Structure 1
Amino acid sequence: MQRFETLDWIMIGVYFMILLGVAVWVIRQKNENTEDYFLAGRNMGWFVIGASIFASNIGSEHVVGLAGSGAGGKIPLLIYELHAWLVITLGWVFLPFYLRSGVFTMPEFLERRFNERARWFLSVFSLLAYVLTKVSVTVYAGGIVIASLLQIDFWTGALITVILTGVYTVLGGMRAVVYTEAIQTVILVIGAVTLTVVGLDAAGGWANVKASLPEGYLDMWRPATDPEFPWPSLVITSTIVGTWYWCTDQYIVQRVLAAEGIKEGRRGTIFGGLLKLLPIFLFLIPGVISLALKNQGELQWDSADEAFVSLLMNKMPAGLRGLVAAGLLAALMSSLASVFNSCSTLFTVDIYKKLYPDTPESKLLNIGRISTGVVVVLGILWIPIMQNISGVLYEYLQSVQSYIAPPITAVFLLGIFFKRINSQGALATLVFGLVVAILRIGLELMRDSLDPDGLLHVFAATNFLTFAAWFFLVCVTVCVVVSLLTPAPAPEKIQGLTFGSISPEQKAENRNSYTVWDIVTSLIVLALVAYVMISFNG
């Protein structure tokens, strides 16, 4: 594998100087209170919101994991990258309810809709989910990328990733995160597009790439009997996970809560949805190209998760290699910065402030900074366990999210669309869901020691996509049945928080928050999603 040359280091240095300048400028804009620190004063415009949504989502798990899926024969997983339509759903369906309630966090919204216990539970559930997925995956993949690029050991690379990002996130808060992410989005897109073009040229064009792959390799639609990716389960589960991630998860929704209003927030989600289509071409396709070059004898790598970095270091010319490396570092830092900020918001606003409501704003800011460090340490401790669950990083992420998402998705969807759902039904679903998720992850780790003919082995070994689809159906059933067997919520409690309780004034306000161009651009994004789905069919 080639090493960086002087021109590469210059490109990386220029990137960090720009990033440092923006971070210093933002940090000098004093964070006076928690709204400034956690939601950037609620005055973000649509471009910054859309770029922040994209940069928050596109992390090292994409750089390493999505490219690894392309190189490792797991093309069906690209359906998770076709969730642009769910990003738009956040703006059109969920955002008006969130902004009307004036909340900082998603658990806070559940308290408004249900009760305080639902808020407590989702706060703890979300922090646990971040440790299991976002923090550990991002630090792990960041360690792989930096170790490969700088020729250092994995754990040194992982710690460098954390320290580089933690400094400006802790000092600057949400405003530092969204402004640096806007820059990182531009760098990331330019770098990855360049790598795709260079890779295609090295492989002799797309026709040569396809000719170097097994027949049907690029087909994302497998038969319903496929043991890995049966298409009905893939469609259902990816939609469940996508709804949780894009429409109800603090990590993404916090960006939209920082909007000036519904109009700017919705336009931010439309722009973010358009950007969301890019990862297929920025990461999955380079992974496929890397495999084609390996089959042609042009590249050598052992693990599919090494495909992207191998293509970068061996086929990119000096200077451009440094530009793409800066894009990779941007991806690592943006996703880590987002999860750091979301974790500190959840802990500070939903846990600490609830326990100590009279805490001064200055102390709350310090508590948020300290809590970030604790979550990072827990994520690092989880990495060795995470490596035993799945051989491909991106598949690990989707499998664990498939166990976490069903109960939360069920509670939010039913809570907004069905006004009869009450706090007892919501809490029963969340508790049931957490127990099942822990059981599934625990038994999956112990699967080899279980009786192959026993019920526990079936529970642990069932395809994760099929498992999650049935899990969601059971969660919906629990929520509806428990709610119908207990008293209905008071009408004044849910006013404006469900579709069945919106006032005429609120409906008029929502109608005035969009134009025909918002509708047209949303339809264009939906058409592009359909086109990609059809294209990857054989």
Structure 2
Amino acid sequence: MKGLDTLDWVVIAIYFLILLGIAWWVIKQKQKDTEDYFLAGRNIGWFVVGASIFASNIGSEHVVGLAGNGAGDKMPLLIYELHAWIVLMLGWVFLPFYARSGVFTMPEFLEKRFDARSRWVLSVVSLIAYILTKVSVTIYAGGIVVSALLGIPFWIGAVATVVLTGLYTVLGGMRAVVYTETIQAMVLVVGAGVLTFMGLDAVGGWGELKDTVGVDYFNMWRSNSDPDYPWFPLFFTSSIVGIWYWCTDQVIVQRVLTAKNIKEGRRGSIFGALLKLMPVFLFLIPGVVALGLKMQGKLDWDSPDEAFPVLMSNLLPSGLRGLVAAGLLAALMSSLASVFNSCSTLFTLDIYKKLKPDKPEEQLVKTGRVATFFVVGLGLLWIPIITTLSDGLYEYLQNVQAYISPPITAVFLLGIFYKRINANGAIATLVGGLIIGFSKLTLEITKSSFSEGSFLFAIADINWLVFGAYFFAMCIAIAVTVSMFYPRPSEAQLQGLTFGTVTAEQKAANKASYNIWDIVASVVVVLIVLYIMVSFSTLSL
């Protein structure tokens, strides 16, 4: 890899100065209550909401990993980047219920729909999952990226980035996060877009790239007998994971809850869905381009995960290289900031406030800042562990989501669409699903210790996509069956929180919150998703 030169460093310095200037301006604003600190006063417009949704999804490990998928013959995983249609569901289906409930967090919504037990379980599970996966993996991958780009030791890169991100997240709260994420999203899109254009030019164009790597390489749909990525379990399980991540996960939903109203939140989700289509072209295609250049003898790299940084350092001229490096740093910082703030929100409002209900607003904001420091500290402490577990963790990271998401997705979907589901059905699904999911994950990790042909080996050996589909069906069955043994929830408890209990006034208010252009934009997003799905198949190519 070529190192950064003086002009690259100047570009990176300008980027950081702009970023810190925005953060400082936000920090100077007074933030005395929880609504302002955790939800930016619920006063954010659609453009910033959409950019924040996109930026919080794209981390440095996402950028490098997606390009690695493109360079490493893992095209079926492209399906996870075509979840723009699920982002639309957040704005059109879920947001009206969340907004009407007036909640700050997703566990709080479950408490209103079911009871306090569901809130506690989801809060604790979410915090543990964030710290052990999102925070730790982002820090680890970010440390590698920063050390490679800037030529500094891994530890210095990881610690410096975490501390800087944690600092403005702690001091500025959600407002600092969403505004800095807007800048970071634009930098990332511009930088990666330039790299994609120049990469395609270097390889000889799209037609030459297809001829070089082969038409079949672009096929994302494999037969149902494929041992790794059978097409139907891939589509089904990825959709379940997508609904969990985009429609019920605190990190993402918190962005639309910062909007001024449902109209701005929905438009933010539509804009976020449009931006979500970009990673296919900004990160996946550069990975395929890097493979094509390697096959043409114009580029060399050892691991597919090196494809993006090697392509960037060898292809881009001085200055632009610094811009893309700034974009990768932006991806790292935005995803970290999102998780830091959401962890802080969950701990403060779903755990601390429940234990100390009489604490004033200023004390809750202070607690939120302390909680962020605590999460930052745990993330740093986890680095020595993740450096020893990285191979296994990266191998199982995508599987973990298939084991965490089904019970949560089932409870939220049934909670909104089916009035008969009650609190006992929800808690049985969450707790039972947690036990089943982590049991399967444990068996998968320890599979080598079982004898081939044994019952435990057979369970451990089930493809994670196939298991995810069956697991979701089990969770639906648990929720419905247990609920039938107990009385149905009262209409008063369900008012406005589930289909069938929305009043005529609430329906009218929701209808007034969108127009024909919102519908047209949403249809365009769905059509683009379908076009990409057809294009990345051997039938079309």
Pairwise TM-score range, normalised by the shorter structure: over 0.9
Deviations 1:242-301 (A, max 9, x none): 000011110100000111111111011111101100000010011111111122222222
2:110 aligns to what?
A: 110
Q: Is the 8 A contact 1:39 1:174 kept in 2?
A: yes
Structure 1 residue 396: Cα displacement: 4.1
Structure 1 residue 230: Cα displacement: 0.2
Cα gap change, 1:20 to 1:355, in 2 (>3 Å): same
2:288 aligns to what?
A: 288
2:342 aligns to what?
A: 342
Structure 1 residue 485: Cα displacement: 1.3
1:406 aligns to what?
A: 406
Structure 1 residue 460: Cα displacement: 1.9
3-state DSSP of counterpart to 2:217: coil
Cα gap change, 1:246 to 1:385, in 2 (>3 Å): farther
1:112-261 correspondence to structure 2 within 5 Å: 112-261=112-261
Structure 1 residue 148: Cα displacement: 1.1
Amino acid corresponding to residue 508 of structure 1 in structure 2: A
Structure 1 residue 366: Cα displacement: 2.2
1:387 aligns to what?
A: 390
1:357 aligns to what?
A: 357
Q: Is the 8 A contact 2:87 2:269 kept in 1?
A: yes
Alignment partner of 1:372 is 2:372: yes
Alignment partner of 1:527 is 2:527: yes
Q: Identity of aligned pairs, percent?
A: 64
Single out whichever of 65-74 and 196-205 deviates more from structure 2. 196-205
Structure 1 residue 525: Cα displacement: 0.6
Q: Is the 8 A contact 2:163 2:376 kept in 1?
A: no
Q: Which runs of 5+ in 1 are unaligned?
A: none
Structure 1 residue 137: Cα displacement: 2.0
Q: Distance in 1 between matches of 2:396 and 2:275?
A: 24
1:58 aligns to what?
A: 58
Q: Is the 8 A contact 2:170 2:373 kept in 1?
A: no
Structure 1 residue 385: Cα displacement: 6.2
Q: Distance in 2 between matches of 1:22 and 1:74?
A: 39
2:101 aligns to what?
A: 101
Single out whichever of 26-35 and 155-164 deviates more from structure 2. 155-164
Amino acid corresponding to residue 155 of structure 1 in structure 2: W
Structure 1 residue 177: Cα displacement: 0.3
Amino acid corresponding to residue 345 of structure 1 in structure 2: T
Deviations 1:185-216 (A, max 9, x none): 11110000011111112212222222221451
Single out whichever of 416-425 and 66-75 deviates more from structure 2. 66-75
1:320 aligns to what?
A: 320
Q: Is the 8 A contact 1:389 1:444 kept in 2?
A: no
Cα gap change, 1:516 to 1:215, in 2 (>3 Å): closer
Structure 1 residue 361: Cα displacement: 2.1
2:262 aligns to what?
A: 262
Amino acid corresponding to residue 196 of structure 1 in structure 2: T
Amino acid corresponding to residue 320 of structure 2 in structure 1: L
Q: Distance in 1 between matches of 2:283 and 2:339?
A: 21
Amino acid corresponding to residue 99 of structure 1 in structure 2: A
Q: Is the 8 A contact 1:133 1:401 kept in 2?
A: no
Single out whichever of 113-122 and 452-461 deviates more from structure 2. 452-461
Q: Distance in 1 between matches of 2:38 and 2:146?
A: 29
Deviations 1:122-144 (A, max 9, x none): 00011122123311221122112
2:431 aligns to what?
A: 431
Cα gap change, 1:467 to 1:386, in 2 (>3 Å): farther
Amino acid corresponding to residue 442 of structure 1 in structure 2: T
Amino acid corresponding to residue 183 of structure 1 in structure 2: I
Amino acid corresponding to residue 501 of structure 1 in structure 2: T
1:453 aligns to what?
A: 453
Cα gap change, 1:189 to 1:112, in 2 (>3 Å): same
Q: Distance in 1 between matches of 2:73 and 2:136?
A: 24
Q: Distance in 1 between matches of 2:501 and 2:184?
A: 41
1:506 aligns to what?
A: 506
Structure 1 residue 318: Cα displacement: 0.6
Q: Distance in 1 between matches of 2:366 and 2:458?
A: 47
The TM-score normalised by the length of structure 1 is 0.97
Q: Is the 8 A contact 2:32 2:365 kept in 1?
A: no
Q: Is the 8 A contact 1:388 1:445 kept in 2?
A: no
Deviations 1:360-417 (A, max 9, x none): 2222222212222333444452524652436xx4x64421111110000000000000
Q: Distance in 2 between matches of 1:529 and 1:325?
A: 29
3-state DSSP of counterpart to 1:65: helix
Deviations 1:290-326 (A, max 9, x none): 1111222222222211111111111111111001111
Structure 1 residue 5: Cα displacement: 0.7
1:424-503 correspondence to structure 2 within 5 Å: 424-503=424-503
3-state DSSP of counterpart to 1:499: coil
3-state DSSP of counterpart to 1:27: helix
Single out whichever of 179-188 and 294-303 deviates more from structure 2. 294-303
3-state DSSP of counterpart to 2:216: coil
The TM-score normalised by the length of structure 2 is 0.97
2:4 aligns to what?
A: 4
Q: Distance in 1 between matches of 2:484 and 2:498?
A: 17
3-state DSSP of counterpart to 2:300: coil
Cα gap change, 1:465 to 1:2, in 2 (>3 Å): same
Q: Is the 8 A contact 1:132 1:400 kept in 2?
A: no
Deviations 1:103-131 (A, max 9, x none): 00000000000000000000001112212
Query: What is the alpha-carbon root mean square deviation over aligned residues?
Result: 1.3
Q: Distance in 1 between matches of 2:401 and 2:330?
A: 24
1:306 aligns to what?
A: 306
Q: Is the 8 A contact 1:144 1:154 kept in 2?
A: yes
Amino acid corresponding to residue 170 of structure 1 in structure 2: V
3-state DSSP of counterpart to 2:73: coil
3-state DSSP of counterpart to 1:318: coil
Structure 1 residue 461: Cα displacement: 2.1
Alignment partner of 1:26 is 2:26: yes
1:62-77 correspondence to structure 2 within 5 Å: 62-77=62-77
Q: Is the 8 A contact 2:166 2:376 kept in 1?
A: no
Structure 1 residue 145: Cα displacement: 0.9
Amino acid corresponding to residue 92 of structure 1 in structure 2: W
Cα gap change, 1:248 to 1:477, in 2 (>3 Å): same
Q: Distance in 1 between matches of 2:396 and 2:438?
A: 15
Q: Distance in 2 between matches of 1:385 and 1:348?
A: 32
3-state DSSP of counterpart to 2:487: coil
3-state DSSP of counterpart to 1:510: helix
3-state DSSP of counterpart to 2:500: helix
Aligned length: 535
Runs of 4+ in 1 over 3 A off after TM superposition: 376-380
Q: Is the 8 A contact 1:127 1:346 kept in 2?
A: yes
Amino acid corresponding to residue 358 of structure 1 in structure 2: D
2:81 aligns to what?
A: 81
Single out whichever of 107-116 and 145-154 deviates more from structure 2. 145-154
3-state DSSP of counterpart to 2:7: helix
Q: Distance in 2 between matches of 1:376 and 1:302?
A: 33
